Amino acid sequence: MIPIYTVTALLITINWLVYVWAVNSGYVIEASLGYFINPLISILMGVIFLHEHLRTWQWIPIGMALLGVLFLTITYGRLPWIALSLAVSFSLYGLIKKTTPLNALYGLTLETSLLFLPALIYLIYADCIGQGAFLHMGYRADLLMAGAGLMTTIPLLLFTSAVQHMPLSLMGILQYINPTLQFLLGVLVYKESFTQARIVGFCIIWLALIILGVEGMLSRRKRVVVEA
């Protein structure tokens, strides 16, 4: 049991580190792209590893998402590694958590326990070389940093609870809320550059998500009618 939770702890650590670095380095929009792609990768992993079946109209948006990533790669002049790192790490985390034996609270407690000692060693090291922030920037900053921990832990706890009781395909659809809010923050609050090329790439992926959402809604309605 420890090995599998060590893997999930490493995956969520990678996800957190990349996300925190991206936000603090002015890549909020690209980080949001990662979480737009994440639901589609979750769906694909559900098909590959859990043998969940997709309907024809569910394959189309996955192909469109791949096209959108390819387009953004060409226009960026580089692979959008921040987005892909966030999407793949969190999708793998969700996939593995779906098969883990412990419930959400105990599983997350074990993961954070495994991360506690390495994190503590790093914080002590950072403090010794004069790069520590906690307890050095005033009580307001300390409260914000502590609050950031709660703002991270509570949604993750809810996610790990839900992922064990829902198909990854449905979980993927619900995850659209997160990247939408991130994208709006990047554009409206942090005023990050959003060029025409980025608009085209994002629109391809948004269209894919719309198709997937509409297809899922129509499919559920059809199923309810048949069962009735």
Segment 25-76, tens digit of pLDDT: 989 988 988 888 887 788 788 888 888 777 778 788 888 888 888 888 887 7
79 residue type, one letter: L
165 occurs within a structural domain: yes
Q: What are 206's two structure tokens?
A: 């948004």
Q: How many domains does the chain have?
A: 1
How far is the C-alpha of 169 from the C-alpha of 160, rounded, in Å?
15
Contacts of 59 (CB under 8 A, 6+ apart): none
Asked whether the beta carbons of 111 and 12 are under 8 A apart, the reply is yes
150 occurs within a structural domain: no
Query: 218 is in which domain, residue-wise?
Result: 2-129+159-227
**Residue 160 banded pLDDT, cuts 50, 70, 90:** confident
56 occurs within a structural domain: yes
**pLDDT at 172 (0 to 100):** 58
Task: Please state whether the predicted TM-score (pTM) of the whole model is above 0.85.
Answer: no
